[in-house]
Each structure stands twice: as structure tokens, then as C-alpha cells.
Copies of this chain bind each other. A is one copy, B any other.
């Protein structure tokens, strides 16, 4: 019998049972972390050999330019190596430092101060500002647009991506909507990949704001977990067909390919967008770390296919972790009606939806039992999940053993929170009756 169909007595029994289980877990005094999409130590080890790719003996007078100032856009070899991650030409790429988040922040900040082109206003002078946020989504995206004062509008996601009817309707008439966050492949946290139709409709948007920009954060573009990876249509190509290629900024990084703190990040954009960006970028910096770019180029022997091969090693580490999550969820919650989730084909997360009104309680129960999850609500703008049901599970960082224990505690917390909720619902129903 599934809990939603239990009577009061049965629910009480169910609750007592999971409560006891929960207290046993709590007594273990564990400290486990599933909060962030952090690679685990095994994954980091995969790129350790990159450290040997640049040695003192590689310094020669002929190579001195790599060691000196210059090359605002990054070194040519790195542009060539990484352009395929975004599916664009190397001349449409700028290679930055270690953080694509930093590029995104700077891209918003730049648009605030100087607009997105010579013939548009700085966003700071545009009055009310709004931003489209597919939900659930990435908390660090939302933090940027919140900081700069945008009113963020939730756009529901389904298995094809964000609700395109809603987006088309909203942007058509409202020039205060300046942009939209997208994680188009293996989305954070839902794991879904935008359908071809979604990409085509995004590429054909007719926003009232001439300075509307899609922030296409392709963070997981090569982060597959199966033999049948998702495929994402190339939005830049689609936009070019429509003469709209200025409407997108594309981002990617090697943070989850080589080292999270010491990777390189890239921006892909149209010539017009890059020209505008470079006008202030050349004042902001003389360029980013070219030796780290060179280290990456050497590690992958300048070939994108070697990056793809390297990602298979990551998959080998990650696949068992995602299987643990899937197995425990299926075994313990499958058919119970207490939650739903999707096993992703790639990326870093499993997005879990509990019964409405239970997410905060689940996260709090887990916390008490020593399991740190991403805060409930974090996957929504302003940290406010309107139904209080979404929880992002990040299985990459803990060891397999820790993860197993953490997931056991998680499903126990889900059952307990749901039992409490259903009981409370029964009570309020009977008091109304």
C-alpha cells in the first residue's frame, strides 16, 4: 500500500517505523556531503599528469611569448582545442581564466555598465530589468541576476527544456526582459537536454528587447554517463540561419574536465558580440594565464577527441555513483508516490521532487543526521521553491561507500518527512470535516 492511500493508523505505523530507522542513522554521527557538484578525488587524479606537461625545459626563447604579457583572446592552440566544445569556430572563442562563472558574471556586469553593443543602452540605464530563469536551475546563475537587481521570472522545465510557449509570449511584449539562463545539456539539476524543437524556438525568438541575450551555459556538453548520450542541437548554427547569432553568449570550461580550480573557461559569441566585449576587456586585463592554456593543449595533444576520450575516464568514475543513487531511490521509493526523479544521461546531478511541502523538511532531517544537501529552494530564484518539493542530489564528491550511506539516510528522511506531511494533511482534513 502506498502511503498516500494509508489511513491514519497505517500512516502512524509507517511513520514510527521510519522514525526508528532515522534515529538509528542519526546515532551513527556521520558527516557526509552531497551539496555541490564537486568532482571527487578519483576524478581529480585523472588530470594529475597534466602537471607534467609544462616543465622548466619547455622554456625557450622561441616560446617566450607564452610566458609574457599579451594574447587578450587566449592562445590560438587553446581556441582551436576548445572551440568544438561549443560547436563554433575558433575565431568566435575567447579563452579566459579558471572560471566560466566569472565570465558569466563579467558578461552581465559589462552589459549593466556598457550595454551589449555600441547601439544599445547600458542595462543600468534601462529602468526595470527582468530575467528568465528555467526552474529548477542553477543557484549560482540566479545569484548573479539577483545581485544586479533583476526581477527573475520562473520558467517551468519539462523533459524538453523550458516552457517555450511562455518564453515566446513573455519576451515578445516586454522590453525589460534582458536575458535568460540556460544549461541546455544535462541541465543543472534536472539532467535533461533541450530538445531540437526547444533549441530551434530559442534561436528564433523575437524579443521586444533588442539587447536580449541567452546565456548558454554549456557546462556539461561532454559530460556523458551512458553509451547513448543526449544530443544537443547547435544553437549558434540555428541562430545564424535566422540572422540572430548576436542573441547568444555561450560558455564552457574544463572545471569538470581537468581541475575545478585550475581549468580554463571559454566564451563563444558572434564577432559583433566579441568586438564589443573586447572593447572593455582590453581595459580590464592584459589577458589570462597562457601557460595554463598551453598545459591543457599539451595534455590533450591539441585534439578535441582526446578530451572526449578523457571524459570516458570521468564517466567510469561517475557511473557507479549515479547507479547507487538510482538503485536506492528505485528500491526504496519506487512506486511509493513519495517522490519522482529522472536518471540523467550525463551531467552532475539527480533532481528529486518530493511531495509538495516536504523538501525543506527532508533537507533538515538529512542535516540532523549528518548528510549535507544543497539547501531546499536553492534550485529556484531567491531560494524560493513555490511548492517546496525540489532537491538537488550531487553524487560526485563522496566516495561510493559514503554515497550509499548518504542515500540510505536520504530516502529514510524522505519517508519520514512525507509521513509527517500526510499525517498533518489527514489531521487538517478531519478538523475541516
Contact = CB atoms under 8 A, between A and B. Distances in A.
Interface of A: 36, 38-39, 41, 44-45, 47-52, 54-59, 61, 64, 66-71, 97-99, 101-102, 105-106, 109, 112-114, 124, 140, 143-144, 147-148, 255, 259-262, 280, 283-292
8 contacts: A48-B58, A51-B56, A66-B261, A101-B286, A102-B284, A102-B285, A140-B283, A289-B289
B292 A289 contact: yes
A71 B147 contact: no
A283 to B, nearest CB: 5
Given A50-B56, A70-B261, A113-B148, 4 more contacts: A41-B61, A51-B55, A68-B260, A105-B284
Number of copies: 2
Interface of A (DSSP majority class): helix
A44 B56 contact: no
Given A51-B58, A64-B44, A105 B283 contact: yes
Contact of A285 (B49, B99, B262): B99
A137 to B, nearest CB: 15
B68 A283 contact: no
B67 A259 contact: yes
Contact of A147 (B97, B99, B283): B283
A244 B140 CA distance: 34
A262 B283 contact: no
A68 B47 CA distance: 12
Contact of A68 (B51, B261, B288): B261
Given A55-B51, A112-B113, A283-B147, A69 B140 contact: no
Nearest to A42: B61
Given A68-B44, A98-B97, A285-B102, A54 B51 contact: yes
Nearest to A53: B56
